């Protein structure tokens, strides 16, 4: 089996050296390094890697501008490896929206320790990125996406769907995929709860960005927040989120806890709570992502009477989580990304199905 080929673009010679050693020790072949995008471009064309590891703050051309050029002219899987700052959170969201399939954050303090730590996540991120299906990401829209019209609902149907809840779980490739779906949905949609695998401090910027792009209200969830029609609550990075019932209302509980399926937040934690609290009133969707987090929870939702769907393989960046959910028998439908928003609207307009 051929080793994964990687290229590192970072303006620090020390960082390039340590990252090269780290990847090599992880069984990844570093075919080239470059101090900035202008030096990197001819190397990419002459010896294309399987994965590019890219910094953001570099001389002559910033990493985001280079990423956009790369994805337009020479697309390949990109893992961002940049310093975490308040401003950097939004920058990382821009990078993921532009086509990056993963990211690892370099700390401002203790950088040397981080660079020498084989458990810092970079090797795993590069290996995951090498399996990404870039064709599924498609071209980036240059303008606002159209909003799908609301389905025609009778007063009776609307009353029956008032307390519906939509639960969505995603991982690798999920930033773009979730944006593509939410931008098409109207404020009449039932309340949505989302787990996107993402580290602490990134989910607030992610939610803020989506809130500016969508007709829906999108926010990072806080403990006790109500799940309301037209509102999307995204689990904070580093914390689990569960659905709870408070009288006639749904709320979210945001808590600490151990990693579940190697993740916090975990999709399974959310989906299992939705199965218990919402049952047949729920709609569950599992989308692009590596691994199997959420597959068991979606099966629990399905067994509790919820309507469930998985994103299809052709439109997934990584067909891991949906594949496992389908294999476990937890899905009613397999839906392309381009049709997911419409499917969610159709299901939310239906009367709650009988058990």
CB-based contacts of 155, cutoff 8 Å, min separation 6: none
Candidates 204, 146, 135, 210; CA nearest to 178 is 210
Pairing status of strand 240-246 against strand 249-255: antiparallel
Q: Which of 18, 55, 130, 171 is catalytic?
A: 171
Residue ranges in 26-165 assigned as alpha helix (H): 37-46, 63-73, 86-98, 111-116, 122-129, 155-161
Candidates 321, 316, 306, 308; CA nearest to 337 is 316
Task: Look up 197 and say whether it is catalytic.
Answer: yes
Mutual angle of helices 174-182 and 86-98, in 10-degree steps: 80
Pairing status of strand 191-196 against strand 307-311: unpaired
Q: Which of 293, 312, 315, 348 is catalytic?
A: 293
245: phi > 0 → left, psi -120 to 50 → alpha, else beta; which? Answer: beta
Contact indicator for 345, 230 with CB cutoff of 8 Å? no
Contact indicator for 302, 276 with CB cutoff of 8 Å? no
161/209 Cα distance (integer angstroms): 28
The upper half-sphere exposure of residue 48, i.e. CA atoms within 13 Å in the direction of its Cβ, equals 10
How many other C-beta atoms lie within 10 A of the C-beta of residue 139?
A: 9
Radius of gyration of the chain (CA): 20
Q: Which of 36, 50, 197, 273 is catalytic?
A: 197
CB-based contacts of 279, cutoff 8 Å, min separation 6: 304, 305, 306
CA distances from 228 to 161, 173, 217, 232, 305 (A): 12, 27, 10, 8, 21
24/7 Cα distance (integer angstroms): 11
CA 6 to centroid of chain Cα atoms:
23
Task: Look up 293 and say whether it is catalytic.
Answer: yes
Residue positions annotated with a catalytic role:
171, 197, 293
């Amino acid at each position: 089996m051929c080793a994964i080929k990687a290229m590192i673009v970072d303006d620090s010679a020390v960082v390039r050296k340590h990252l090269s050693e780290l990847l090599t020790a992880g069984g990844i072949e570093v075919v080239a390094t470059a101090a900035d995008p202008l030096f990197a471009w001819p190397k990419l064309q002459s010896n294309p890697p399987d994965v590019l590891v890219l910094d953001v703050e570099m001389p002559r051309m910033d990493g985001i501008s280079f990423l956009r050029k790369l994805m337009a002219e020479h697309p390949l899987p990109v893992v961002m490896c940049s310093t975490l700052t308040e401003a950097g959170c939004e920058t990382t969201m821009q990078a993921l929206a532009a086509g990056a399939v993963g990211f690892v954050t370099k700390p401002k303090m203790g950088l040397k320790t981080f660079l020498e730590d084989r458990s810092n996540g970079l090797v795993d991120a590069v290996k995951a990125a090498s399996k990404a299906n870039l064709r599924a990401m498609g071209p980036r829209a240059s303008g606002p996406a159209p909003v799908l019209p609301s389905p025609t609902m009778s007063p009776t149907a609307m009353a029956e769907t008032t307390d519906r809840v939509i639960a969505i779980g995603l991982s690798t490739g999920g930033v773009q995929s979730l944006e593509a779906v939410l931008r098409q949905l109207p404020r009449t949609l039932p309340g949505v709860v989302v787990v996107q695998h993402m580290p602490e401090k990134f989910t607030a910027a992610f939610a803020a960005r989506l809130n500016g792009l969508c007709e829906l209200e999108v926010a990072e969830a806080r403990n006790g927040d109500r799940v309301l029609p037209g509102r999307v609550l995204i689990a904070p990075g580093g914390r689990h989120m569960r659905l709870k019932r408070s009288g006639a209302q749904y709320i979210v509980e945001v808590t600490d806890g151990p990693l579940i399926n190697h993740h916090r937040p975990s999709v399974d934690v959310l989906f299992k709570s939705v199965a218990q609290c919402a049952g047949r009133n729920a709609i569950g969707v599992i989308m692009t992502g590596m691994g199997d987090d959420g597959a068991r929870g979606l099966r629990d939702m399905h067994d509790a009477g919820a309507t469930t769907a998985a994103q299809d393989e052709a439109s997934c960046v990584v067909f891991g989580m949906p594949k496992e959910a389908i294999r476990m028998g937890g899905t009613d439908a397999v839906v392309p990304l381009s049709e997911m928003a419409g499917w969610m609207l159709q299901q939310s307009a239906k009367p709650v199905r009988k058990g």
